């Protein structure tokens, strides 16, 4: 049954989590994502589906609860905002090393440090280039609407379990706090241990049965030869994800003279810039990476051939622009326009930046 509601992005993620048949949420409040925990506490899903909701004593505790529950094959999520996500990085690295499926949500605010509570996209590097230590990758999804905040929850769990890999939803204070119309997915049943094993294989620590080896969850391997083998296995998995999971949206790219590349809320702002450009006779297209890792490099490379110049628009001092430049590999001019510290660029500002940086004058 489809249900249309007016919800904040944070509330939509929380409701979608219950409906995805999640087993648990562990979190710690921080603006601008506190509505996730608040919504879950108000909805009391432990009565609806048996899902656990727990406010941990700290972010570090919360991510380690995710590690533990995830190791048992449970569908679990944690969420925070930038400073809190920094605290979680050790746990995230362990989870990636141990190949535990889980969902981490970052509703980004301006930094560095405690920074501001206003929206930002300055955690792009942290999300797609590691964040924690070691050679690992998170699958990173960037929602650009409240609807996608809801839709990406189930998608994240599907990918997390398919690849036994943590997935991060990289949102920001704007999408988190904004209300839009959202169509909620139907309620899914929570899975039993047996169903998890049947769908995703026997790897979780749910109690050893006779006739099989012990399932061991660890990120520690003191023998370098074995650790390298494990690294090879992870890298092979990452190549597989790069092959299968690249997602992006193309808007007005047919016959565009200039290309914008933007993700999340910046991509929404750029859509208005396209309209403003049209009114001035400037034909602008937009590629919106939906997965920030794996990154739609190939698509951006192809699109570069058809345009005179490329501008990335980010609420940071220039992070994704590096990946766009790598993708384009020098064949076109790639410029960056950003506002940061919690400031949000307006569609008019973006158009002015495009005119100055790409057209000249």
Partner 1 sequence: MTEELIIAGFGGQGVLSMGKILAYSGIMQDQEVSWLPSYGPEMRGGTANVSVIISDERISSPVLQFFDTAIILNQQSLDKFQEAVKPGGVLLYDPNGITHLPTRKDIKIYTIEGAKEASALKNSKTFNMIVLGAYLKLKPIVKMENVIKGLKKSLPERHHNLIPMNEEAIKVGMDKVKQVS
Query: Shortest approach of partner 1 to residue 272 CB, angstroms?
Result: 4
Quick check: 77 and 66 in contact, CB under 8 A? yes
The CA distance from 117 to 119, in Å, is 7
Q: 167 vs 350, which CB is nearer to partner 1?
A: 350
Query: Shortest approach of partner 1 to residue 183 CB, angstroms?
Result: 11
Measuring CA to CA, how many Å separate 327 from each of 146, 299, 302, 305, 323?
A: 29, 9, 9, 12, 6
Query: Shortest approach of partner 1 to residue 106 CB, angstroms?
Result: 17
The CA distance from 323 to 120, in Å, is 18
Query: Shortest approach of partner 1 to residue 308 CB, angstroms?
Result: 23
The CA distance from 256 to 312, in Å, is 15
Q: 1 vs 220, which CB is nearer to partner 1?
A: 1
The CA distance from 295 to 138, in Å, is 12
Q: 66 vs 282, which CB is nearer to partner 1?
A: 282
Binding site residues, partner 1, CB under 8 A = 4, 6, 31-32, 117-118, 173-174, 177-181, 265, 268-275, 344-349
Q: 6 vs 236, which CB is nearer to partner 1?
A: 6
In the 8-state DSSP scheme, what is residue 219?
S
- Of 251, 263, 259, the C-alpha closest to 291 is 263
Query: Shortest approach of partner 1 to residue 175 CB, angstroms?
Result: 9
Q: 61 vs 344, which CB is nearer to partner 1?
A: 344
DSSP symbols for 318-332? SSHHHHHHHHHTTSS
Longest dimension (CA), the chain: 75
In the 8-state DSSP scheme, what is residue 316?
S
Query: Shortest approach of partner 1 to residue 9 CB, angstroms?
Result: 11
Q: 27 vs 345, which CB is nearer to partner 1?
A: 345
The CA distance from 222 to 220, in Å, is 6
Give the CA count within 13 Å in the CB-facing half-sphere of 170.
25
Q: What CA dihedral angle connects 311, 313, 316 and 320, to 10 degrees?
A: -60
Query: Shortest approach of partner 1 to residue 197 CB, angstroms?
Result: 42
Quick check: 64 and 39 in contact, CB under 8 A? no
The CA distance from 115 to 109, in Å, is 7
Handedness of CA 57, 58, 62, 64 (dihedral sign): negative
Q: 24 vs 149, which CB is nearer to partner 1?
A: 149
Query: Shortest approach of partner 1 to residue 146 CB, angstroms?
Result: 8
Query: Shortest approach of partner 1 to residue 340 CB, angstroms?
Result: 15
How much is the CA Rg of the chain, to the nearest whole Å?
21
Q: 4 vs 222, which CB is nearer to partner 1?
A: 4
Q: 79 vs 118, which CB is nearer to partner 1?
A: 118
């Amino acid at each position: 049954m489809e249900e249309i509601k007016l919800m904040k992005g944070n509330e939509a993620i929380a409701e979608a989590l219950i409906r995805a048949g999640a087993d648990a949420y562990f979190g710690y409040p921080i603006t601008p994502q506190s509505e996730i925990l608040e919504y879950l506490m108000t909805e009391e899903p432990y009565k609806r589906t048996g899902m656990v909701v727990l406010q941990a004593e700290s972010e570090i505790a919360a991510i380690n609860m995710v590690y533990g529950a995830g190791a048992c094959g449970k569908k679990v999520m944690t969420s925070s905002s930038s400073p809190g996500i920094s605290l979680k990085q050790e746990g995230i690295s362990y989870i990636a090393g141990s190949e535990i499926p889980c969902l981490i949500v970052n509703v980004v605010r301006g930094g560095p440090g405690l920074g501001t509570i206003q929206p930002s996209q300055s955690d792009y590097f942290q999300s797609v280039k590691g964040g924690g230590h070691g050679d690992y990758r998170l699958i990173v999804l960037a929602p650009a609407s409240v609807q996608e905040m809801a839709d990406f929850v189930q998608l994240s769990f599907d990918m997390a379990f398919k690849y036994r890999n943590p997935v991060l939803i990289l949102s920001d204070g704007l999408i988190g706090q904004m209300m839009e119309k959202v169509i909620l997915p139907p309620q899914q049943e929570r899975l039993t241990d047996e169903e998890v094993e049947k769908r995703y294989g026997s790897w979780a620590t749910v109690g050893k049965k006779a006739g099989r080896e012990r399932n061991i969850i660890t990120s520690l391997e003191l023998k370098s030869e074995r650790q390298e083998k494990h690294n090879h296995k992870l890298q092979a998995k990452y190549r597989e994800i790069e092959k299968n999971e690249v997602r992006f949206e193309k808007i007005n790219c047919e016959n565009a003279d200039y290309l914008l590349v933007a993700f999340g809320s910046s991509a929404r702002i750029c859509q208005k810039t396209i309209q403003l450009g049209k009114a001035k006779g400037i034909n602008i297209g937009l590629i919106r990476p939906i997965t920030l890792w794996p990154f739609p490099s190939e698509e951006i490379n192809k699109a570069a051939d058809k345009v005179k110049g490329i501008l990335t628009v980010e609420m940071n001092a220039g992070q994704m622009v590096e990946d766009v430049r790598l993708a384009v590999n020098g064949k076109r001019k790639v410029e960056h326009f950003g506002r940061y510290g919690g400031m949000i660029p307006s569609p008019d500002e973006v158009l002015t930046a495009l005119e100055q940086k790409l057209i000249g004058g």
